[in-house]
Amino acid sequence: MKLAVELRGAGPGLVMLHGWGLNSAAWSPLLPHLARRFRLALIDLPGHGRNRAAAVTPSLAGWANAIADVAPPGSAWLGWSLGGQVAMAAALAGHDIRRLVLVATTPRFVAAPDWPCGVPAEELAGFAGALARDHDKTVRDFLSLQLRGDARAATLLRTLRALLAESPAPDPAALATGLDILATTDLRAQLPALALPALVLAGERDRLTPAAAGRRLAAALPDGRCRVFAGAAHAPFLTHEEEFAGAVASFLDGTEVAA
């Protein structure tokens, strides 16, 4: 069974991929800004949202290939956090992708001696252990962590929880796969092969994928550039809707001004 796709708007294609434990409803506040300019393809990650029951190979490559199989060819891909890693994997696999927008994305989620801008391995392992005990609570806790540091965190958290409650809860097996992808993925050595234009958008106060990770990612890409949103945490598209949408649109149109 192929993944479900929701299409909105008109114009050049833009595939939108959410992050771990979430679904495409997270994009809702941003959609009015982008649907006027682009044909949006909202695709829930395997095991999430409307794709909760989809049977897909449980790996980064499996997820990337399954999404590419239903994505409109020649589209740009916008991926948030884990969705950004999926987008990079799809591009590295040679799928027909025009440009990349990588939001709060890192080539390596876990910290290492040569990669200090990551989450400690023990912290991610703690999430994996908590997931096995209570997956619903773990997702709720992860939502809180994504918005921590933002001045409007409490309000945004209520909004995001309400949006996500409208869709089916993610499959626990898919949640475990997503955490495993985050724990084991290291795309740094492959970044020079990502020759297509790429825009990295980061939050100044992001505690999951620090702005430093976004800057390093953009610098390692052959045609990368980075923009950091002041005061934003892990979800800059929720806190800086119009500014975020403008940055995406100007980049996809090829009219962006260097920051």
Tokens representing residue 79 in the block: 């991926």
- What's the CA gap between 112 and 188, in Å, rounded? 12
| Paired residues of 119 in beta bridges | 110
Assess contact for 74 and 15: CB atoms under 8 A.
no
The question of whether 144 is a catalytic residue gets the answer no
The question of whether 136 is a catalytic residue gets the answer no
Question: Under DSSP, is residue 256 helix (H, G, I), strand (E, B) or coil?
Answer: coil
Q: Tell which residue, 111, 99, 60, has the closest CA to residue 216.
A: 111
Considering the candidates 33, 48, 135, 234, report the single residue annotated as catalytic.
Answer: 234
Considering the candidates 81, 95, 135, 150, report the single residue annotated as catalytic.
Answer: 81
**Region of 196 on the Ramachandran plot (φ > 0 left; ψ -120 to 50 alpha; else beta):** beta
- What's the CA gap between 41 and 16, in Å, rounded? 6
Q: Tell which residue, 80, 101, 103, has the closest CA to residue 91.
A: 101
- What's the CA gap between 15 and 87, in Å, rounded? 9
Q: Tell which residue, 201, 137, 135, 200, has the closest CA to residue 170.
A: 135
Which residues make Cβ contacts (< 8 Å) with residue 230, sequence separation at least 6?
204
Considering the candidates 18, 24, 150, 206, report the single residue annotated as catalytic.
Answer: 206
The question of whether 234 is a catalytic residue gets the answer yes
Count Cα atoms within 13 angstroms, Cβ side, for 100.
34
| Catalytically active residues, by annotation | 81, 206, 234
